[in-house]
Amino acid sequence: MIAFGSFALLRPWWLLALPLAAMAFYAIKTRGGGLGQWERAVDPPLLSAMARRGLLAPGGKSDLAPALWALVVLALALSGPALKRRDADRFRNLDANLILVDLSSEATDRAQLRQATTAAHLALEAGAARQTGLIVYAGDAYLAAPMTDDSAATGSLIFALDGETVPDPGVRPDRALALARRLAANAKIVAGDVTVISSGAGVNEAALSEARALAAAGLKVHTLFASQDSRGESGQGAGRAALAKLAAAGAGVAADAGGPSPVTAAIAGRAIRRLGGSSVASLYWRDYGRYLAFAACLPLLLAFRRIAR
């Protein structure tokens, strides 16, 4: 699917038929006199007699032209020209964008927290008009912002996060992922993205199991690594590897919080790809291709026009 604001092509690959139709039209248009092989198969006197009786179309014009124009219109119809439904917003809970931020002592030095909040805001913006929820965690997980389409309110809350937001000591990403899964189930979300922004601490088998469960429920788990200089290269490498493993378990994308574009691109593109390949698209878009297909019959009527005698 290709979307241009409120207009979309649900099946754009059908447009590949247009250059084929153009080549066919050119081949027919350039063949001799519009009569093709008949000039070589029929004696010239007989052809002249048939032309005088009006049994042949005028030279240079092809009787296949109406069929080719019908093919062009049919290809446009099959490409699925569609407009976004006015009531599409009522289905926004079908697709969600959940952001999980690690606020444990392992992830809240000043530079690290700045990385994490900036990355969280970029992930929020990538979700566009989708429902977004914010979960913060340390030794336990809490819902900081319920599912809402008010991204401005959630964005202002993100920049208010600090190391004292979650009082529980420790770091339990598995609890945050479990909370995200319950939240999605209660909201009857059928697909979405879960972005974990962390230093990579606390990723264990329970967290990997939760990531796999989210992926099975249609929510991909992405990770963004917030680096901490005091941990050294080996410590940062271990944290980055743990988050990459978590993203792999959740069928998502892993990146650094300082360069989150792979994750934000996945979030931004996921809704379009999913809608383009499923029946859910009919809930968001009104397909006008069926009406345009009837218009393909109009050029064919020219093929039945009466030849002047």
Q: What residues pair up with 143 in beta bridges, in sequence order? A: 135
In the chain, how many H helices and how many E strands?
13, 10
Q: What residues pair up with 190 in beta bridges, in sequence order? A: none
Mean pLDDT of the chain: 83
Stated as kind and residue range, the H or E segment containing 150 is none
Burial class (CB in 10 A: 0-12, 13-18, 19+), 243: buried
**Nearest Cα to 84, choosing from 282, 278, 284?**
284
How high is the pLDDT of residue 305? 62
Q: Chain centroid to CA 55: how far?
A: 54
How high is the pLDDT of residue 309? 47
Q: Looking at the domain that runs over 90-280, which CATH code has it been given?
A: 3.40.50.410
Residue 165: how many other CB atoms lie within 10 Å: 16
DSSP state of 88: G
How high is the pLDDT of residue 181? 96
Cα–Cα–Cα angle for 152, 158, 164, rounded to 5 degrees: 150
pLDDT digits (tens, 9 = 90+) for 199-215: 999 999 999 999 999 99
Going from N- to C-terminal start, the domains of the chain cover 2-80+288-304, 90-280
Helix 65-78 crosses helix 17-30 at what angle (to 10 degrees)?
A: 170
b/e map 103-137, b = 16+ CB within 10 Å: bbebbbbeebbebbbbbbbbbbebbeebbbbbbbb
Tens of pLDDT along the chain (309 residues) come to 787 767 888 888 899 988 887 887 777 666 655 555 566 666 778 767 777 776 665 554 456 677 788 888 899 999 989 887 776 655 555 688 999 999 998 777 888 899 999 999 999 999 876 889 999 999 999 999 998 878 888 999 998 998 889 989 999 999 999 999 999 999 888 889 999 999 999 999 999 999 999 999 999 999 999 987 655 566 688 999 999 999 999 999 999 999 999 999 999 887 555 554 555 566 678 889 988 888 888 877 776 665 544
How high is the pLDDT of residue 233? 66
How high is the pLDDT of residue 35? 56
Whole-model pTM?
A: 0.64
Q: Give the dihedral sign, CA 41/42/48/51.
A: negative
**Nearest Cα to 140, choosing from 106, 114, 178, 110?**
178
Matching residue, tokens 């879960």: 194
- For residues 271 and 254, give the distance between their C-alpha atoms in angstroms, rounded to a whole number: 19
Q: Is-contact 247 223, C-beta < 8 A?
A: yes
- For residues 218 and 250, give the distance between their C-alpha atoms in angstroms, rounded to a whole number: 10
How high is the pLDDT of residue 205? 97
- For residues 74 and 293, give the distance between their C-alpha atoms in angstroms, rounded to a whole number: 5
